[in-house]
Every structure is written in C-alpha cells, then in structure tokens.
Amino acid sequence: MFARTYLNLLPVALLVWGLSHILLTESKEIYTTDLERIQLNGEIDIITRNTPTTYYIGPEGPTGFEYELATAFADHLGVKPNVIVSNEFANIIPAIGGQAANLAAAGITVTEARKKFVNFSDSYQGITQLVIYKAGNKKPRKIEDLKGVTVHVIKGSSHEELLEALHKEYDFLSWQSHPELNVSAMLEKVEAGEFEYIISDSNDYQFNRRFYSKIRKGFQISQQQSLAWIFPKSKDNSVLLAANEFLAISKENGFLKRLHEKHYNHIPGLNYAGAHTFRKHINSRLENLIPIFKQVANEHDIDWRFLAAVSYQESLWNPKAVSPTGVRGLMMLTKRTAKQLGIENRTDPIDSTKGGASYLLKIKDKIPERIAEPDRTWMALAAYNVGFGHLEDARVLTQKRGGNPDQWADVRESLPLLTQKEWYKKTRFGYARGHEPVLYVRNIRNYYDLLVWKYNESDGLKDSITRILPRVM
C-alpha cells in the first residue's frame, strides 16, 4: 500500500521539483550580479587613456601604471581585459555613467562633484595639483600670481573643477579648457612658449619632466588628493567591492609598491640639465649610431633602444671616449674584458657595442632565472657596473635585513650599505661604491624610457588589442 502510494506521487513530485528548478534557475538569472555576469562572459571592459602614467605602447607591448594595475585586476577575477582607449578625458566619466564599460582606470581624481555621477574605488595613489610654467619666465608662487593670465587645463579634468571652485574666492582667475589635448601635449605647449601656465597632477609632472627639459613646477594649487577607479552608479556594487578587495590585497602583498617602483621610482635620477643634454645628443650623435645599435641588437635578440641607453650612460655616445681608468669606446670596455670577448679595437663602434652586449648578456645569464623581469635586467646592469660579486653581497644583505633578494627595489636599498664598514665587513667581497650602481641603473632606465617614447616602434599593436572609445558628448 505504501509503495503504491509513493509511486503514484512520484510523477507529481518530479513535476514539482522540475518547476521549482526552473523557477530557481530563472530567479538566479534575474538576480545574477554584475560581477557574476563578467565572469560568465569571461571579459571585463576597462576604459583608460593614452598617457605615460596610464596606458601606452612600450617596447614589449601595452604598459603603463593604470593599465598594469587594471589588467592585474582582470587576472584576479579570472577574465580577459577588454581595453577601451578614450582620446578625450572629458568622455570617460560620461561613458562610465552611461555604463559603456565596467570601470575606468585612467588616473582619475576623486572629487565630490564626480561622486554624483559615478562610484569610486578605494584610493591607490595620492597626488597634488601643480601650476607648471616654462624655465626663464617668472615663477608663480601663489594664486595671486595668476592674475591677468590665462591658465590652460584639460576639459573635464579635476583641474577645471578646481578652478571653478577657486573662482568663487578669486574672481580674477581666467582659464581655457582643451578637450583635444592630453597631458603630454599640454606640457609641450608650455615648453614651446604657447601656454604660460597649465595645471598638472604631480604624478604626471614627475613622469613627464624628463621629456620636457624646460618645464618647471610653480606652486601647489590643491591639497593632497586621491586617484581611484570609477564605476557606474548602481545598486549592484559587486564589481566595485571586488576591486576594493583586489586593491587591499595588492597593498598587502606589495604588488602596488612594486608597480609604483617600476613606473616612478627611477625617475628622480635624471635632472633637467641631463635630460636637455640627452635630447641634444639624440640629434647630434645618436642618429648616426642607430644602424649599429640595431645591427647588434638583432644579433643578440635585445631592444636596440636599451642597448643605446646603456651606451649613453657609459660614453654619451662618443666612440672615442676614454676614462681616467683606461676604459674606452661606446660601451667603455676594459682591456681585460675586451680580451676575454675577443675585441681588438675598443674604439670601433661595432666592436665595442658587440662586446658590451655580449658581456652584459653573460652577466645576465648568471642572475637566477627565477627572478622576474624587469628586475633581472636591472640586477644585470648593476652587476655590469659594480661587479657580480658585489651584487650578490647586496642580495645577501637584503635577505638578512628582511627584504626580498629577488626584487630590485629591495636590493638597491642594500647596495649603498657596501660603503659602510659595519655592513661590508660581513660580506664576501667587501667594500664597494654601492651608490654608483643604483644611480647607474636609474639613469639607464630614464634614458631607455626617453628613447622608447621618441622611437615608438610598436604602434601597430594598439589596434589589435584595444578599441577606441567614440565621442559620447
């Protein structure tokens, strides 16, 4: 009796279960979060802009502080980043407000006015706004010095917003907004004397001052502000919450620090005079040497611009250069090194460049392969300058001091300690002028950045991995 009743009820139970499953499935589809949809689709749409601090094409493809941080977030979510490049800054916030993308990673300052239209992530970088002018002109030191002149800003930027707020108290302020210009173009116009004053974020100024030797910092016109990602206004904050979690993890595990080191920390090594001289030497010396650098670079499968950067640090691109210690040529080879490499004429540009490239790669082969790039290259350069043994001593000291011996940012802090007896007496190879390789690497990184910016040979990559954000205003 019981069995028969159970069997009779089974089809009904199955029907009820089926309907419940359908309803639950439909309910789940209705209430799928934005984050779940992104992960189901396998892509996240990210808006950025083409500037040195956000996104640009480097020697190995797309790079930039914002780009690398945002694509790391995509990797954290297990999805592919779909990068959208906006040619006009003023389009970015309206595009996010209109949900044209999931987020914008474009060096955007957090302001109260913008909070009305978009949501902000937690901050990952602090900046201030600076008044920039051309060297040789009168330095502006306070807001009153802006009276009677036009200040130029990017349309839709926080700089425009700041001036609008200041105008209530300083009604003499006058400015012009430019929708078509980016940071680099603004700074170029200052250097050319077309704009008397502009406003720039401190990180943009810090990065770009190497490219424009005549720009100078006047005064800080704002308080400390925060950069953050922006998200559409929505009741569903699942993507925003995931981003905040990622940024917290990135701060805790040191990824954010390493990213900042990669893009900013080498910059102070090149002063204005050095940058100006470098740019002059590009025209007067480098152009004739480019075929040589390209030939040797192709033979060794390295970037010719990197080879040129090393050569400039060594000899200022002077094939006949001779140091007081007897090293010679474009790559300043010693007699001993040249003999080991089979180089007979150290002042021959091709022989010297081949010798320097071979020697540097031999040193790099000694660096443990587990060390990730670009740290492995920076350590090879340091060893090229100070000797492999001293580099190893610095790595040992780094570990003893609680740092990571496989990260250049930590090792470079230990190298100067090799000048101090309390530290070098604990090492195998003893005293070394440890400050020199730190400056050596920093300068080469600066020269390399400048050459990559001037001789950008990877523009074709842009269209294959990104799309351009259309005008939305």
Strand partners of residue 86: 49, 469
Tell me how far apart the 2 most distant CA atoms of the chain are, in Å: 109
d(CA 255, CA 261): 10
DSSP 340-401: HHT-S-TTSHHHHHHHHHHHHHHHHHHS-TTSPTTHHHHHHHHHHHH-HHHHHHHHHHHHHT
* Residue 169 is a catalytic residue: no
What radius of gyration do the chain's Cα atoms show?
28
Q: How far is CA 301 from CA 205, 271, 321, 346, in A?
A: 34, 31, 26, 22
Catalytic pick among 314, 344, 373, 436: 314
DSSP state of 328: B
Beta 129-134 vs 43-49: how paired, if at all? unpaired
φ, ψ of residue 431 in degrees (nearest 5)? -60, 145
d(CA 334, CA 354): 14
Pull the structure tokens for residue 180.
């078509």
Catalytic residues: 314
